[in-house]
Amino acid sequence: MRSIIKFFIFTFCASNVFFNVYAQNTNLMKTYGVEFAGFFDFQQQFQISPNSNNGMNYGQFELGISKNLNNFVSTEGAIAFNSETEKFELGSAICDIHLFGNDTEHLRKSSFFNSSGIQVGQFDIPFGIDYKFIPSPDRKFVSTPFVVQKTINCMNNLGVNFYGESNFTNFNFFLINGLTDKDVALGGRASIFPFENFELGTSYLANLKKVEINNSRIYGMDFQLTFKQIEFRSEVLQSYGIIEGAIDDCGLFNNHKGYYIQSIGYLDQYFEIPLFVGFRLGYWKTDNNLFQNNIENSLHRITSTLGYLITSGVEVRVELVNDKYYNQNNNTTLTSQLVVNF
């Protein structure tokens, strides 16, 4: 509780300092092209079943800055609060060199690429589609899909990323620090757009150092579709020797696999109220025999959410999560969340 109070005080003070500096230096920032942005969220969990959590905690807090150095080089950086360690850490630091594109913000004009370039620094690894929704203002659900947590786990690392996008395809190819101090990892994601507002993608990540017999690696398939006011997304993930974004320290290289499929519907067009609802169905399983005694080795999760936009940049959500383990034990948690985006 003391940590929560301290964080509330820090957030209040930091926000006041930020907005005062921002107000006093708006013209100066416009002159030099510097932009600030940030967000934070708080969560309250309510116990429904005997095994569920109960209490208030903070989710994410991030403050970022960006600047275009010229027409084809941009930079950005962010500090983020780690709620597990209760410390601020570097969230991102990226230099983005725009190579080929269809506008003047690229080194060379291209009729094929809408945009392409090289990113160097620390960034969220472009694997699957969930990495696009890591910030709490973008996710709409309170929680991350469980299979994502158990495999790639919203990985953030130092490295180089080559990217490109056209009207019918896009790709990312990255080389990053490995999952241990002496390793490097590589991977990428490629997708196609069979028709408007529909994307099919595949992803791969591998640790280049061989540990025992097998290479640590993750495979993924995904799709996303937007139809009027409804968004659909799904991923299927399978990993070998990697759990929660790190080397599986059990050393058995059992595979972890699963999927999720979700939909989000925006109701403002029908009810003239800025509401949205969401539903997610997920499954995860590990073949690790060490999990068969005392610890569940598979999970079915049903998640539903309801959100309301209070005003621009301020959103409140309520999420209900029901977990069903392989031994038929159920666990239900209700979580409310306040998200502020500035």
Q: pLDDT per residue over 54-102, tens digit each?
A: 778 888 999 999 999 998 999 999 999 887 777 889 999 999 999 999 9
* Cα Rg, the chain, nearest whole Å: 21
Q: Which stretch of 42-46, 171-175, 251-255 has the lowest confidence by average pLDDT? A: 251-255
CA 72, 74, 206, 128: dihedral to nearest 10 degrees?
-100
Residue 257 CB partners (closer than 8 Å, separation 6+): 147, 236, 237, 238, 239, 284, 285, 286
Q: How far is CA 281 from CA 232, 239, 270, 307, 321, in A?
A: 12, 20, 25, 18, 10
Give residue-wise pLDDT tens across range 196-211: 999 999 999 998 875 5
Give residue-wise pLDDT tens across range 221-264: 999 999 989 999 999 999 988 888 888 766 555 788 999 999 99
CA 145, 148, 154, 160: dihedral to nearest 10 degrees?
-140
Residue 184: count of CB within 10 angstroms of its CB: 15
Give the mean model confidence (pLDDT) for residues 273-282: 97
- Which residues are paired to 95 by β-bridges? 75, 120
pLDDT band for position 12 (cuts 50, 70, 90):
very low
C-alpha angle with apex 272: 270 to 273, nearest 5 degrees?
110
Secondary structure class of 72 (helix, strand, coil)? coil
Q: 65 near 48, Cβ under 8 Å?
A: no
pLDDT (0 to 100) of residue 303: 98
Q: Which stretch of 121-130, 270-279, 293-302, 315-324 has the lowest confidence by average pLDDT? A: 293-302
d(CA 284, CA 243): 12
Average pLDDT, the chain: 86
Tokens of 212: 């025992």
Tokens of 65: 């800055």
Asked if the model's pLDDT at residue 8 lies above 50, the reply is: no
The residue length of the chain stands at 342
Tokens of 90: 């570097």
**DSSP at 179:** S
Give residue-wise pLDDT tens across range 126-157: 999 999 999 999 999 999 999 999 999 999 99
d(CA 279, CA 64): 31
Q: Which domains does the chain have, with CATH numbers?
A: 33-341 (2.40.160.10)
What pTM value is reported for the model?
0.85
